[in-house]
Structure 1
Amino acid sequence: MRVWAWLLRFLWPYKGRLALALGMSLSATLSSVGMLGTSGYLISKAALHPATILLLWVPVVGVRFFGLSRAACRYLERLFSHDLTFRVLSRIRQDVFEKVEPVAIPLLQRFRIGDVFQRIVADVDTLQDLYIRALAPPLTACLTVLAVAGGLAFWGWTLSIPFLACALVCGMLIPMLAYRLGRRSGRGLPEARSALTEQVLGILSGMADLLAYGRQDEAVRRFHQAQERLTEREARHERVGAWVDGLFLWSMHASVWVVLWVAMERVWAHRLDGVLLAALVLMVQASLETLAPLPGALQNLGRVSAAGRRLFDLMPAQMDASTREDATAARIGLPGTARTGLHATAQTGLPGTARTGLSGAMAQVPSPTAAAVAEGPPRLDLRIHNLGVRYASLGPWALRHVDLELGPGRHIAIVGESGAGKSTLLKVLLRLVLPASGAITIGGMDLYDVPEPLLRRWITVVPQQTYLFNATLLDNLRLAREDATADEVKEAVRLAQLEETVARLPDGVHTQLGDLGMRLSGGERQRLALARALLTNAPIVLLDEPTSHLDAITEQAFMEQLLYALRHRSLLMVTHRLVGLERMDEILVLRHGTIVERGSHEALLRQRGWYHDMWTLHQAMVRM
């Protein structure tokens, strides 16, 4: 019920359009019933050879009226119903994106990427059947049957009661049987489609590695196995549908015979004019034909329900994250601050800002902080106190007892072996991972009190794996700031040492980069990510292995340009390469999630600890 309550709320804002679409559908169906009934009466009346054709003018006009009205109403029904469907589908897509986007990282930890892709694309597309194929057919059929039953009651309840009984069999019992059989035969279909999508995405993403290691045949074999499993399930589902359609057709014709027999008895008993016999039978047949879509509608109802449930399963991921945020907020609140949760109205949020939720609507009024952001990058400090992070409630600590103070314009590097917790720290600062303990403040505010849009203006990041869109280089750069001028873009390109790359591209910054930026090398993609960061006015810059794709000579020059370009900004750099660290204000050494050494480059060398050993090894490798 929760799933259907969630789905039906998308229809409620368009209740007027829903009523119009349903009204036109009912009018078209009743026009069809009226046309067939009037035609039967006209044929029967004409067979009696009336004295003048004028005695037939009423049914003749009736046939024409119902024929024209059926066409007009069917056109309007298609117009209104499809307009309603597209509007509802648009709202569903928007709602799903708004709910899923803030919890993308935890979501991908729970579900496979192919499964998530299948849900937010194919399952959302399935919901276009919510009204047209799932709700409209049973509603229209029910209203039509009731209207025809009322019309038959005019000539006697002995006609309408058998008709209603037959309609109950054709319209409820057989569709319910079809629904049960369809659920059983369709079990596993969404999962089979997700598995096939997962195989396709895996092959496309890992094509280079598969070819390099000669495993492409095995990948194709797995793809064919997934395709065969899907085909088998679909064929079984279609066979059930075919049997149900045949059963319904037989039942409908049997129902017509039942009503015909009852009507003939009334004619023999002189309680019904024989000229009405053909009209009543044709009206019954036409009304029962409106029940034909019901088995399919119930199957579509099951498909829509399953798709809605799979999408709704993504929503508790957000609710779980919200619950954990509330608990985290209570644990890491600022001293002397009382808070009731991140999604409650906060008194300690951005000054002059009333909040109804972290991702909800914000009503902002002018404040000193907001004005500072509008005028240019504010000088903010970032403080971390006793931070602890674990990915499971009882799992091992990824970070523990981490303290850090990044003042305005200060540069700090975090070094350590793989798995030490360096990237986890960046994810915490970006609110992609929630801490288990400790406090994080930025500009004197709790990190979790800063609204999401404002946080993205205060902090920018250069990730280790940069995603580039299939667009021009300029479009990929302006992702950071849409209103960046040509001079600002040119300066960012120069500081990121992309000038040679731009010069060799056929159309310069207007060159299409292809899927995932395939026209650029790994190092060039990394420098483009740096250029993005330079285009922003964010006062705090986070770097995740910024030189991982550069050679030694380019790396040295790149670091010099990088530190010069960011000399007025706060910089937190995560790296396992020790180039340029002598120019850092402070270096933190992380091991097993804990800071084991800290200090300047010279101070750490004097300590002759882990950093000294890694620096000595690095220098030996450089000399080689």
Structure 2
Amino acid sequence: MKQLIYLFQLFRPFWGWALLGVLLSMATMLANIALLATSAWFITAMGVAGLAGASINYFTPAAIIRGCAIFRTVGRYVERLVTHEATFRFLGALRLRTFKNYTQIPLEQVERLHSTDLTSRVQYDIESLQGFYVRVLVPLCASFFTALICVLYLLKYDITIVLPVVSGLVIAGALLPVLAFRAVLKNANDIFVSAETLKKKSIDLLDGLGELMVYNNLAKAQQDFRDHSADRLKILKSVETVGLLTKNAIWLISQLTFIATVLLAADLLQARQLTQADFVMVSMFALACFESIAQVAPALMQIPQNKAAAERIFFVNPDTQNQTEEPEQNPGYPDLALKQVEYRFNDFQIYPVKFDFELPAGQTLLIKGPSGIGKSTLIDLLVGDRFVQKGEISLNGQTIKNMTEQQLVATFSISPQHTHIFSGSFLNNLNLGCDTCNLDDVNEVLEMCQLKSLLESLPDRLSTYIGEQGYNLSGGQIRRLGVARALLKKAPVLILDEPTEGLDYETGKYMMEQIMAKRNGRSLIVISHQDMDYLTFDQIKMLN
């Protein structure tokens, strides 16, 4: 239940919306119950008055009936607006928190997940939680308080009428839903696992279609897919069967309670403790009470699925991980040291990636080597995306294992080998590095990376929408935009991974000379498989 408690904590900023939704749901249910009971009383009273030739106040009950009907319709509409607004706000916060949590998960842990599994967790599982408030929280709270109000109202007549109604409500609103909850509990996780498995199978089937046809295994793969599809349908069918049986059992309990209430109310009618109109009204009111608990069983049956989805979404929750205490001082311009660091991607890798060097603050380092040798792995190790398996990485003599993610992020500014362009304007993508930088800072890095001519050709200059992945930019322009983004961030250690790849010699030479001349005391690490003999580095390391 820890994950569900975490969901409640995420819902804390929206408790005002949640409470309003519960109150509107209660008011709507009470209006519907009052409409049925008052209509029964009014029709009976009119018939009795007609037979007796007596007069009756027609306007008051008619107004109550009309008011309840209007309030039920309007209340249901407003309830939908409020509850869905609360749901959308909750989902927005949940998506943001989930994405933030996943960005803090070490890369080597994320790599163990199938791409379909990761997509299912951040999309399908989150979407399944959209009913957590509307289908679980609101129905359970509103049902309890509405049923309590109904029972308190019946107490004004006679305790003998209350007993069968309370018994029926307890059985239909507590016992049967709990049994249904226990019945679907074992299938909750299977629902998500089966859906994820089908997605994996479909993607693997499409990706490997050629190989399957060449090796005559297509029929076997198709049969395997059909078998998993049948298994999922079997799971869904069992859950639907439980829901249908529970619904029919609740209907039966409501009818038996109605009959018992009619028989007990008939005795009160004979004893002249109830009028004819009250007799009909109390009987119909007892039947209408079951509307208050109609959504309890579906709500409880939804909880196991919500719990399973929450466990999959928060399979690693950084908020619950052990955090080391932050040191009192910021590393500032640090001395970087990697002492006999080794890393293997898997147990089958014979030779590990090795790093062993010291980089005093403000110095420059060129790391060279052929593609695939593990040069870019250095970045993952420095920022904590991968864990050092042997040796130690330290900043000013302090191991990075004792540093928080925020400190590591503040220490390093990185231009990765593959620059990601987000959907937005040119300036939005630059400001990822420094959202507080002024226009002079932006113009300076654009000049250093020779992007001024590109900017002048854009229709809206810095405000030009460049699209996701920079579809209207060339590969070299995207590379320089990534470098400019890293330069804007005022971090003490600047790391450039293949900064000149895809650039012509003169453009790359000018950009690197500008960076070297204007780094303002920052340490610089350049990772490249190209020669940069036009630059003078304090250290050059060759990886073999």
Q: Provide the TM-score with structure 2 as the length reference.
A: 0.80
Equivalence for 2:367 = 413
Partner of 2:65: 63
Question: Which string of whole-angstrom CA distances, capped at 9 and with x for unpartnered residues, describes residues 365-395 of structure 1?
Answer: xxxx5xxxxxxxxx65433334355668999
Q: Shift in Å at residue 408 of structure 1? A: 1.1
> Quick one: structure 1 residues 484 and 95, their matched pair in 2 at CA, closer, same or farther if it must change by over 3 Å?
closer
Per-residue deviation, 1:564: 0.5
1:499-518 superposed matches below 5 A: 512-518=465-471
In structure 2, give the amino acid aligned to 1:249.
W
In 2, distance between residues paired with 1:90 and 1:314?
A: 19
For 2:513, give the aligned amino acid. Y
What is the identity, as a one-letter code, of the residue corresponding to 1:9?
Q
Task: Give the distance between the partners of 1:478 and 1:7, measured in 2 at CA.
Answer: 32
- Residue identity matched to 1:424: T
Please give the per-residue CA displacement for 1:122-165, whole angstroms capped at 9, x wherever unaligned. Answer: 33333332232102213322323333233333333322212222
Q: Which moved more, 1:155-164 or 1:51-60?
A: 51-60
**Structure 1 pair 513–86 and aligned structure 2 pair: CA distance change class (3 A):** closer
Per-residue Cα deviation, 1:464-493 (whole angstroms, up to 9, x for no partner): 122112334444334333455666555544
Equivalent residue, structure 2, for 1:594 = none
- Does residue 530 in structure 1 map to residue 483 in structure 2? yes
Q: Structure 1 residues 580 and 246, CA, compared in 2 at 3 Å: closer, same or farther?
A: farther
- Residue 10 of structure 2 aligns to a residue in which SS? coil
TM-fit CA distance, 1:430: 2.0
- The answer for the alignment partner of 1:544 in structure 2 is 497
SS at match of 1:587: strand
Deviation at 1:72, TM superposition (A): 5.9
Letter in 2 for 1:575: S
| Residue 305 of structure 1, CA deviation | 1.9
Amino acid at match of 2:378: L
Matched with 1:346 is: 327
* 1:298 CA drift (Å): 2.0
- Is the Cα–Cα contact under 8 Å of residues 450 and 511 in structure 2 kept in the other structure? no
Q: Deviations over 1:99-144 (max 9, x none)?
A: 3322252441343333233223333333332232102213322323
In the alignment, which of 155, 158, 181 is matched to residue 156 of structure 1? 158
User: Aligned equivalents of 1:405 and 1:150: distance in 2?
Assistant: 77
Structure 2 residue aligned with 1:563:
512
Tell me: CA distance 1:489–1:9, structure 2 relative to 1, closer, same or farther (3 Å).
Answer: closer
**Partner residue, 2:382:** 429
CA displacement at 1:166 relative to structure 2: 1.9
8 Å Cα contact 1:148/1:287 also seen in 2 = yes
Match of 2:356 in 1: 402
**AA of the residue aligned to 1:109:** E
Distance 2:472 2:231 in 1: 37
Q: 2:293 aligns to what?
A: 291
Post-superposition Cα deviations, 1:265-293, rounded to whole Å, max 9, x if no partner, equal 44356554333221012111211122222
Are the structure 2 counterparts of residues 572 and 199 from structure 1 closer, same or farther at C-alpha, using a change threshold of 3 Å?
farther
What residue number does 2:169 align with?
A: 167
Q: Which residue of 1 aligns with 2:45?
A: 45
The aligned counterpart of 1:278 is: 280
Report 1:295-444 matches (<5 A).
Answer: 295-315=297-317, 319=320, 322-323=321-322, 343-344=324-325, 346-347=327-328, 349-350=329-330, 380-389=334-343, 398-399=352-353, 402-415=356-369, 418-419=372-373, 421-436=374-389, 438-442=391-395
SS in 2 for 1:531: helix
Amino acid at match of 1:273: T
- Give the TM-score, by structure 1 length: 0.71
CA separation in 1, counterparts of 2:91 and 2:84? 10
Q: Kindly provide the CA deviation profile for residues 160-182 of structure 1, in whole angstroms up to 9, marking residues without a partner as x.
A: 21222222332234323433444
Check the 8 A contact 1:182/1:241 in 2, yes or no: no
Maintained 8 Å contact 2:458/2:464: yes
CA displacement, residues 177-227 of structure 1 (integer Å, 9 cap, x when unaligned)? 4334444565532234434666788899x8xx999x999xx8x98998688
CA distance in 2, matches of 1:459, 1:432: 13
CA distance in 2, matches of 1:488, 1:433: 33
Matched, 1:461 2:414: yes
Separation (CA, whole Å) in 2 of partners of 1:588 and 1:66: 81
Distance across 2 between alignment mates of 1:176 and 1:391? 48
SS at match of 1:460: strand
Give the letter aligned to residue 515 of structure 2: L
Shift of 1:559: 4.4
**SS of residue matched to 1:385:** strand
Query: What residue in structure 2 maps to residue 125 of structure 1?
Result: 127
Stretches of structure 2 lacking an aligned partner (at least 5 in a row): none
The residue aligned with 2:146 is 144
Stretch moving more, 228-237 or 14-23? 228-237
Q: Distance in 1 between matches of 2:201 and 2:478?
A: 27
Matched, 1:572 2:525: yes
CA distance, structure 1, for counterparts of residue 468 and residue 65 of structure 2 = 60
Does the C-alpha gap of structure 1 residues 555 and 235 become closer, same or farther in structure 2, counting only changes over 3 Å?
Answer: farther
- CA gap of 1:515–1:76, structure 2 versus 1, over 3 A, is closer
Q: Distance in 2 between the 1:294 and 1:240 partners?
A: 14
SS of 2:324's equivalent? Answer: coil
- Structure 1 residue 438: Cα displacement: 4.5
Unaligned runs of 5+ in 1: 324-341, 352-368, 370-378, 592-624
Return closer, same or farther for 1:470/1:241 CA change in 2, 3 Å cut-off.
Answer: same
For residue 452 of structure 1, report the CA deviation from its aligned partner. Answer: 4.8
CA distance in 1, matches of 2:209, 2:507: 33
Q: CA deviation at 1:80?
A: 4.7
| Alignment check: 8 A CA contact 1:119 1:311 kept | yes
> Secondary structure, in 3 states, of the residue corresponding to 1:422?
coil
Instruction: Determine which of 261, 264, 268 is the counterpart of 2:263.
Output: 261
Cα distance in 2, alignment partners of residues 470 and 10 from structure 1: 27
One-letter amino acid of the counterpart of residue 350, structure 1: N
* In 1, Cα distance between equivalents of 2:198 and 2:319: 26
Mapped partners of 2:229, 2:468: distance in 1: 26
CA change 1:573–1:477 in 2 (3 A) is same
The structure showing larger relative contact order (alpha-carbon pairs under 8 Å, at least 6 residues apart) is 2
Q: Distance in 2 between matches of 1:581 and 1:192?
A: 58
For residues 40-60 of structure 1, the C-alpha deviation after alignment (integer angstroms, 9 at most, x for no partner) is 111111111254434455544
Q: Does the residue aligned with 1:261 lie in a helix, a strand or coil?
A: helix
The alpha-carbon deviation at position 574 of structure 1 amounts to: 2.5
Identity of matched residues, %: 23
